[in-house]
Structure formats: C-alpha cells, structure tokens
Amino acid sequence: MLLGVIQIALQLGRRKPIDVMEWMSVFLVIASGTATVLTDSPRFVLFKPTAIYAIVGIVMLKPGWINRYLPSISREVASDVATYVGFAWAGLMFVSATLNAYLALNSVLATWAMVMTIFGIVGKSVLGIAGFVAIRLTVRHRLRAMAAEEREALLISTGWKAKSPPVAEK
C-alpha cells in the first residue's frame, strides 16, 4: 500500500500524468485492506475479490486503456485490435467476479481457494498469450501490406532504426 502511495506521490512531484489504472490500484489496495480490518469477517474476505474484479472490469471498459502497455509500433498499427483485447480483459474480470461470488456462496473454503487460484492463473495466462499473439500477428500483417516507403517511415517514426526485413512479393 505504501509503495503505491509513494509511486503516485513521485509522479505528482514530477508532474507526470497518472493513469486511471494506477489510481484504481492504490484505491483498491487501501479500501479493501481497510474494509478487511474493519469487518473482521471471513465471509467478507471470500467476497472481496468479487468487488475488486468487478471494479477492475469496469475500469477496463475504457477503450484504449491497454495502449499504455504496448510498444509504439503496436499502438500505431493495431490500436483497434488492442481495444478488443482490452475489452476481452474486462470480460475476464467480470467472469472472475461472477465465478468468485458463486463459489463464495456455494462451496467450501478449500474448493473456493483451489478453483479461484487455478482459474486466475490459467485465465490470465491464456488471455495474455492470446492478446499478445493477436496484436503481434495484426502488426506483422499490416506492416507487410504497406508500401515499402510508408512502412519505413512508420518504423522510423515509432523508434525502429533498422530497415524492415524484405517482404516477399506475392
């Protein structure tokens, strides 16, 4: 919690913009930690991930939130695909919230812990890999479809120094 607050303070001091996801992270850590201490309830601890997943999902519904985490070439060439990937992440958060609520109400603690751990790791890993592949393949396809001069100008403008590899003519 303290590190999140320090990070925000440093960015404010440097007059750097603070992204919505950063504000949300600090807020969720402070609010959920405080609520856990105040309620002192095992049931609350089971339902807390539902609220967190739902809040994160709502924030992830903002188009383009994921662009900040992409290389400049991907932002330039495949921002539309990145927006869809961002919406897929929001969907995963809502599915996670729903699954967590269901398990918190209808299962024993051991089942809840096992399922949420496995689902969280597998779901995020699969979506992370699928999103990466979708964006990368889109960038490669669109770059290859560009005229050589346009491609070179784009690569240089996004920080690539080397010439792009030759593209086989069809």
CA–CA distance, 7 with 29 (Å, rounded to integer): 14
Same domain, 107 and 144: yes
Q: What is the pTM of this model?
A: 0.79
Percent of the chain as helix, strand, coil, to the nearest 5: 80, 0, 20
CA–CA distance, 29 with 1 (Å, rounded to integer): 6
Lookup result for tokens 């590190």 = 3
At 132 the three-state DSSP class reads helix
Same domain, 15 and 82: no
Same domain, 62 and 26: no
Same domain, 108 and 26: no
Judge whether 108 lies within some domain.
yes
Q: What is residue 6's predicted lDDT score, i.e. its pLDDT?
A: 83
For the chain, give the mean pLDDT: 90
Q: Which domain holds residue 81?
A: 53-170
Q: What is residue 132's predicted lDDT score, i.e. its pLDDT?
A: 98
Same domain, 59 and 30: no
Q: What is residue 118's predicted lDDT score, i.e. its pLDDT?
A: 98
Q: What is residue 168's predicted lDDT score, i.e. its pLDDT?
A: 55
Same domain, 69 and 23: no
Q: What is residue 163's predicted lDDT score, i.e. its pLDDT?
A: 62
Same domain, 87 and 125: yes
**Cα-flanking dihedrals φ and ψ of residue 35, to 5°?**
-65, -35
Same domain, 68 and 35: no
How many structural domains does the chain have?
Answer: 2
Q: Is the model's pLDDT at 96 over the cut of 70?
A: yes
Judge whether 47 lies within some domain.
no
Torsion of CA 20, 22, 24, 29, to 10 degrees: 180
Q: What is residue 19's predicted lDDT score, i.e. its pLDDT?
A: 78
Three-state helix/strand/coil letters over 32-79: HHHHHHHHCCHHHHHHHHHHHHHHHHHHHCCCCHHHHHCCHHHHHHHH
- Looking at per-residue pLDDT, the higher value among 36 and 115 belongs to 115
Q: Is the model's pLDDT at 111 over the cut of 60?
A: yes
> pLDDT tens digits for 39-81?
888 888 899 999 999 999 999 999 999 998 999 999 999 999 9
> pLDDT tens digits for 121-167?
999 999 999 999 999 999 999 999 999 999 999 999 988 775 655 55
Q: Is the model's pLDDT at 106 over the cut of 90?
A: yes
Q: Is the model's pLDDT at 113 over the cut of 80?
A: yes
Judge whether 26 lies within some domain.
yes
Same domain, 35 and 57: no
